[in-house]
Amino acid sequence: MQLNGAEIVIECLKEQGVDTIFGYPGGAILNVYDELYKHRDEIRHILTSHEQGASHAADGYARATGKVGVCLATSGPGATNLVTGIATAYMDSIPIVAITCNVGVSLLGKDSFQEIDITGITMPITKYSFIVKDAAKLADTIRKAFRIAKSGRPGPVLVDIPKDVTAAVTEYECQELGKYVPEHPHINEEKIRNVLSMLETAKRPYVFVGGGAVLSGASDELKEFVDKLDAPVTDSLMGKGAFPGTDPRYTGMLGMHGTKTSNYGVSECDLLVVLGARFSDRVTGNTQTFAKNAKILQIDIDAAEINKNVLVTEEIIGDVKEVLSILNRHLKQQDHAEWLERIESYKEKYPLKYHPDVLTGPFIIEEIYRQTKGDALIVTEVGQHQMWAAQYYKYTKPRTLLTSGGLGTMGYGLGASMGAKVGCPDKTVVNIAGDGCFRMNMNEIATAVRHNIPIIEVVVNNHVLGMVRQWQDLFYDERYSATVLRDSVDFAKVAEAMGAVGIHVETQDEFKAAFEKALTLNRPVVIDCQIGSDDKVWPMVAPGADIKEAFDEEDMKNEQSV
């Protein structure tokens, strides 16, 4: 049948099963939006307050559902406003397809009004960037974009379409979307034998779980593997929920703000099994001393991650779920009772703790956990509140912590929480924010109100840029350069001005009551929580130090008293 380019875009989205799009219109993309209007009963469009909010919402939708998220933007500044969200998705391997429209083909390269080379800009932060100058190639390009986004190691893909291509008419033939069967690398049998030998001869194994275990859906296989190996488990920020945080073998997060138990345990183990993790500097600290007593086994779908940051003893290139399935069939039951007892003694000696009598970030997170019974989707911005959310909420299922791990994007969480709630409407969705982060994209509260998206926004408000100030306090002799945010902004009133419910709290009891109320309202709610400016995330490892050198408030007091 004969269709124009805009009609083909919408038909291809329908082919891919897309039910929700996040975006912001403009002149170059008007043809697509006109066609989207005709299909508004089939595809829901969420008009965000800013294109960055649209890209983060598509990302949150993808993380929460496991499907490909989709966002739209017009040319020039509309397209460039997507860049931070695309980079966020790229760093955390999140499948989104960003569709932008550009000036007409004849105007490309002439500094035309609102022209930008968005494919060139996004080339380093996408799996692939397309510009489609021929309407006859449009359908196949969009189909390819979705296939690339979700295959192998997932990630974002951009499709840029000049405006005249959206108007051009060409032949279109509908294709039914068959069941997606991921292509996995061939797994070397000799590697499997070598790995089984490593697993069965280890005396002090430790399992380190990364985001790849979440993306591959490997939770069941992971639990069976850990039980068979009889080993303690730690995770990265991105790996939260792949292994239950309530399991006795779980020891908390690893790295800069990981538990002392995990940091000490990994430093003492003789085999570190790394599942879908990329050895971020926030995890390893000093790479020269990281797990120096251990053989390291890395299982990852991306060969580029092998020996990139840390040299490994053995690797298997493959999907974590598939590799663990194979290993589970052959691995004999192991017994490491003595090793587990040592790790348990660390857990008892070095628990996470905080000041119990005042409103603090950790108290807020634990109260959210208590009231949601651990069954909420937790989204975060980036900073101290993010680390507290990682430390004090017990994640028992994958895709229940949505956070910007690799890029560390302040302003990510509010858009992402909207995407998560749209994708999972039956779930309670809570975005944990700092006041610095909330300022960046708080205009998306208006989006949540406009589209009746009942998210709960909890602002951990210490009136400073908390994590940066923590570094200034510890490493810059308390020179608080540009980190103090003491002004007259009232976040509760701002929320009310945009049509949401705003609540100001200063005590533990006030927060308990406010959050309990928020759970019943089925409306967007902002809870502005006043905490101390000098509260810190503990434990901490100084940048570039050995992770065994984790210290906390008590350690600092002891050092100062000497």
298 is catalytic: no
Question: What does the alpha-carbon distance between residue 287 and residue 377 come to, in Å, rounded to a whole number?
Answer: 33
Among residues 238, 410, 467, 540, the one annotated as catalytic is 467
Residue 113 a catalytic site member: yes
DSSP state of 180: P
Q: Which of 22, 91, 115, 163 is catalytic?
A: 163
Task: State which amino acid sits at residue 537.
Answer: V
Catalytic residue among 7, 11, 35, 51: 51
Nearest to 15 by CA among 45, 47, 42: 42
Angstrom distance (rounded) from CA 220 to CA 349: 30
**What helix, strand, coil percent values describe the chain, rounded to 5?**
45, 20, 40
Pairing of strands 429-434, 205-209: unpaired
In contact, 127 and 67? CB cutoff 8 Å: no
Nearest to 216 by CA among 298, 144, 147, 276: 276
107, 124, 404 from 120: Cα distances, Å:
17, 8, 24
Going by C-alpha positions, the residue among 397, 253, 220, 193 that lies closest to residue 324 is 220
Catalytic pick among 14, 15, 114, 553: 114
Q: How far apart are CA 200 and CA 282, in angstroms?
A: 30
Amino acid at 436: G
Q: Which of 113, 175, 292, 353 is catalytic?
A: 113
Q: Among this protein's residues, is 175 annotated catalytic?
A: no
Cα distances (Å, whole numbers) of residue 337 to 53, 259, 343, 554:
49, 21, 10, 31
Name the CA radius of gyration of the chain, rounded.
24
User: CA nearest 159: which of 193, 197, 114, 126?
Assistant: 126
Strand locations in 163-255 (E): 169-171, 205-209, 233-235, 250-253
The set of catalytic residues is 51, 113-114, 163, 467
